[in-house]
Amino acid sequence: MNRQHEQHDLQAHIRSLHRFATGLTGNPVDAEDLVQECLRRVLAHLKGDNSVTNLRAYLFRTLRNVHIDQCRKVKTRGYEMNADADVEFLSVPPSQEDRLRCMDISSALDSLPDSQREVILLSCLEGMTYEDVAEVTGNPIGTVRSRLHRGRAALREMLDPAQYDHEPMHGSNSVTMLRKA
């Protein structure tokens, strides 16, 4: 793969990586740092004349590994909170129903175990196949399916289905992903 082709391929996945990173971290600023570190590692790997057969899966697996590394560091060093950004986010009350629904869904996702949240984000948000999710997470397909099923069931219990069934959010019903078995 030549350099220009590699850069184009990487650029095609940046938005998806950022969505996944935001889902993992719950913070767009931390997600940006996560994506940058992921891309740094991937570019260093590709510079060394290493080939990658499934670039998308490799990118998501690298991002996941960077996130795991950072979580381990936080456990040993603690988390640094950006007071200005966090206070600004918390002090502005949502004014629209869609925003409240998104916050409910985001909060429910955040309360899931990491293993279930990962597979839901990769499968439902990124549209990855079970095989790709298995490759990214390093788990067998059966484990991916089981975690996806348990995660969806937990989300259904946490969210009030009546609230989301009758008034879909603009564009699509975000809870539709929870109904797939």
The helix/strand/coil state of 82 is coil
On whether the CB atoms of residues 39 and 55 are closer than 8 A, the answer is: no
Q: Which residues contact 101 (CB under 8 A, 6 or more apart)?
A: 163, 164, 169, 174
pLDDT class of 159 with cuts at 50, 70, 90: confident
Type of residue at 46:
L
The enclosing H or E element of 92 equals none
146/76: higher pLDDT: 146
pLDDT class of 163 with cuts at 50, 70, 90: low
CA distance 26 to 79: 14
Which residue, 18, 30, 40, 23, is CA-closest to 117? Answer: 23
* pLDDT value of residue 179: 47
pLDDT class of 170 with cuts at 50, 70, 90: very low
CA distance 81 to 74: 11
Q: What is the pTM of this model?
A: 0.59
CA distance 143 to 157: 21
* pLDDT value of residue 103: 78
pLDDT digits (tens, 9 = 90+) for 54-110: 889 999 999 999 998 888 877 676 555 555 555 555 555 555 666 677 778 888 888
pLDDT digits (tens, 9 = 90+) for 111-141: 999 999 999 999 988 889 999 999 999 999 9
CA distance 23 to 155: 15
